[in-house]
């Protein structure tokens, strides 16, 4: 708990000095959030806060952030992102759960998310001033990328940003030249360094 509160204070540019208890740090966080005009706090990977902790340590953690939501002078909007394990953590505090609106992000599918992924990558290529030689128009390529990222939108974007970075570093003008190879007959897509290999959907062959 102290680590989380201290991390927030560091992000606000006001790290706590000396050994402080959780109540003091919590009040300090609220004061600096108000002073800095910060209305929302995003806690990522929340499941790690309680994975190996006891009820006695998890409950105070949840209580502090529940109190932030209902602070009289500076109520804070709380955004919590986590894996499905976080359900068990949040279910410990019904009061906190009533103040949150759970949203589940399911794995991507080509049918439901292929268009959005295609448009997102197209915008990334455009912003990087790189030409798409036709990869994004290929359903097979988009399907392989979804499969390679395990259906996770953020991972697919990260893979693409990495490829863009390699292109720019080598002075390439097309995203498909030398960095991302077009899907081959054996059903694999690889980076130039052959670090990332992803099996084509439905393929049982090996590279």
Closest CA to 156 of 195, 206, 107: 107
N-term to C-term CA, the chain: 47
Dihedral angle of Cα 84, 86, 92, 93, to the nearest 10 degrees: -110
pLDDT at 191: 38
* % of the chain beyond a pLDDT of 70: 78
Domain boundaries in the chain? 2-98, 110-199
| pLDDT over 50 (residue 168) | yes
User: For domain 110-199, which architecture applies?
Assistant: Orthogonal Bundle (1.10)
Mean pLDDT of 62-70: 84
Task: Average the pLDDT over each of 22-26, 99-103, 135-139 and give the range with the smallest value.
Answer: 99-103
Q: Quick one: pLDDT at residue 119?
A: 95
pLDDT tens digits along 180-192: 443 333 333 443 3
Could you give the CA distance from residue 100 to residue 118 in angstroms, rounded to a whole number? 31
pLDDT band with cut points at 50, 70 and 90 for residue 176: low
Burial class (CB in 10 A: 0-12, 13-18, 19+), 143: middle
pLDDT of residue 177: 45
Query: Across residues 1-17, what is the average pLDDT?
Result: 85
Q: How many residues does the chain have?
A: 207
Q: Mean of the per-residue pLDDT values for the chain?
A: 77
- Specify the range with the lowest mean pLDDT, choosing from 94-98, 112-116, 124-128, 167-171: 94-98
* Residue 199 pLDDT exceeds 90: no
- pTM beyond 0.75: the answer is no
**CB 75, CB 68: distance < 8 Å:** yes
DSSP reduced 3-state for 190? strand
Phi-psi category of residue 129: left, alpha or beta, with phi > 0 → left and psi -120 to 50 → alpha: left
What's the pLDDT score for residue 86?
67
pLDDT tens digit sequence for 90-107: 777 777 778 778 777 788
Q: Under 8 Å CB-to-CB from 22, ≥6 apart: which residues? A: 1, 2, 5, 60, 64
If phi over 0 gives left and psi between -120 and 50 gives alpha, with beta otherwise, what is residue 161? alpha
Tell me the two tokens of residue 197.
């290999």
């Amino acid at each position: 708990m102290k680590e989380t509160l201290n991390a927030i204070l560091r992000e606000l540019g006001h790290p706590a000095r000396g050994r402080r208890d959780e109540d003091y740090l919590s009040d300090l966080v609220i004061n600096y959030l108000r002073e800095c005009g910060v209305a929302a706090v995003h806690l990522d990977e929340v499941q790690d806060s309680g994975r190996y902790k006891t009820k006695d340590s998890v409950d105070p953690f949840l209580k502090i952030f529940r109190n932030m939501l209902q602070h009289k002078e500076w109520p804070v909007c709380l955004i919590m992102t986590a894996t499905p394990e976080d359900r068990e953590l949040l279910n410990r505090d019904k009061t906190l759960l009533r103040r949150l609106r759970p949203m589940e992000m399911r794995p991507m599918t080509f049918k439901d998310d292929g268009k959005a992924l295609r448009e997102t990558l197209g915008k990334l290529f455009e912003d990087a001033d790189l030409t798409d030689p036709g990869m994004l128009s290929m359903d097979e390529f988009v399907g392989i990328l979804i499969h390679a990222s395990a259906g996770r939108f953020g991972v697919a974007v990260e893979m693409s940003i990495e490829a863009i970075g390699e292109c720019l570093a080598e002075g390439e003008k097309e995203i498909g030249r030398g960095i991302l190879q077009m899907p081959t007959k054996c059903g694999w897509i690889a980076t130039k360094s052959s670090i990332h290999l992803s099996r084509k959907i439905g393929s049982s062959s090996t590279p």
